[in-house]
Amino acid sequence: MRPDLKKISTGISGLDEMLNGGVPKKRICLVTGGPGVGKTILGLQFLVNGAHQNEKGLFVSLEEKPSHIIENALGFNWDFKKNYEEKVKFVDASPLQTLHDEIKIGEITIGSEQFSFATLVSVIKKEAYRIKPKRIVLDSLTALLFQFDNNFDRRRATLELFQCLNELDATCIVTSELRSYSPDRELQVEEYLAQGVILLATLPNGIRTVHIEKMRGTSHDLNTRPYQIGEKGIEVFPKETVTVPSRYL
């Protein structure tokens, strides 16, 4: 491991163990997997853990309404309206998905034809300068990348967004939907561009698995481990092994 590389805890002790301490500080870690694997929950847990350490967090929601996310989080006893109100802020960027005539993100209203990644980037920058978060979650990138029909544009937009995040004084978790789990699948652009990639899956037998695909600058567990989603959120079992069909590796 690079001696100067600092880590920050994800809030999931088993995952921190797999990561030899946590995710690299001030870097972008991609959390990817199919629908329902717990990507949004992982992002929330990361912010809750930060709040407990007095670190501010920003949740940029590109998919679901923050009100729904906040409501669902009550299922884990995370009360963002009460306990974390001062520490964790939500930005509703979900209108970007359904391009209306006018889009309102935070305090900015724009015509949909004027929308570009640059708009999102400026909203994130503005909110980040205002709130000064140490942790940022962007959930999910896929909602945004849908509007591009080729990999060149997807790559350019992702690069722009990641550059913006890299300039901020925060550790970032970006989620994305994985289109395929096949071992010979084509890697998605965000997997190339993020400094770390955590892959979540639910096997056909219902077992949930976590695999660290890459984590630049540090050694980490190379095995696939099981996890559960319970009443305290995600729990990873870093000592247990799991047999994974090759199409999920």
Site residues for ligand ADP per CB under 6 A: 33, 35-41, 75-76, 229-231
Binder of residue 38, out of Mg ion, ligand ADP, none (CB less than 5 to 8 A by kind): ligand ADP
Return the residue of 32, 40, 94, 202 that touches Mg ion, per CB under 5 A.
40
Q: Does 202 bind Mg ion (CB under 5 A)?
A: no
Q: What are phi and psi of 112, to 5 degrees?
A: -65, -35
Select 137 or 238, whichever has its Cβ closest to Mg ion.
Answer: 137
Select 142 or 195, whichever has its Cβ closest to ligand ADP.
Answer: 142
- Residue 201 CB, nearest approach to ligand ADP (Å): 10
Among the residue ranges 33-41, 66-74, 77-85, 97-105, the one whose residues contact Mg ion (CB under 5 A): 33-41
Token pair of 117, please?
A: 């990644």
Select 196 or 218, whichever has its Cβ closest to ligand ADP.
Answer: 196
- Residue 21 CB, nearest approach to Mg ion (Å): 26
Among the residue ranges 36-44, 120-128, 221-229, 237-245, the one whose residues contact Mg ion (CB under 5 A): 36-44
Select 35 or 217, whichever has its Cβ closest to ligand ADP.
Answer: 35
Point out the residue whose Cβ comes nearest to ligand ADP: 75
- The footprint of Mg ion on this chain (CB under 5 A) covers a number of residues equal to 2
DSSP string for the chain: --TT--EE--S-HHHHHHTTSSEETTSEEEEEESTTSSHHHHHHHHHHHHHHTT--EEEEESSS-HHHHHHHHGGGT--TTTTSTTTEEEEE-GGGGG--SEEEETTEEEEGGG--HHHHHHHHHHHHHHH--SEEEEE-HHHHHTT--SHHHHHHHHHHHHHHHHHSSSEEEEEEE-S---TTPPPPHHHHHSSEEEEEEE-TTS-EEEEEEEETTS----S-EEEEEETTEEEE-TT------GGG-
- Residue 174 CB, nearest approach to ligand ADP (Å): 12
Q: Cα(39)–Cα(62) distance, rounded to whole angstroms?
A: 13
Select 218 or 234, whichever has its Cβ closest to Mg ion.
Answer: 234
Select 96 or 218, whichever has its Cβ closest to ligand ADP.
Answer: 96
Residues in contact with Mg ion by the rule CB under 5 A:
39-40
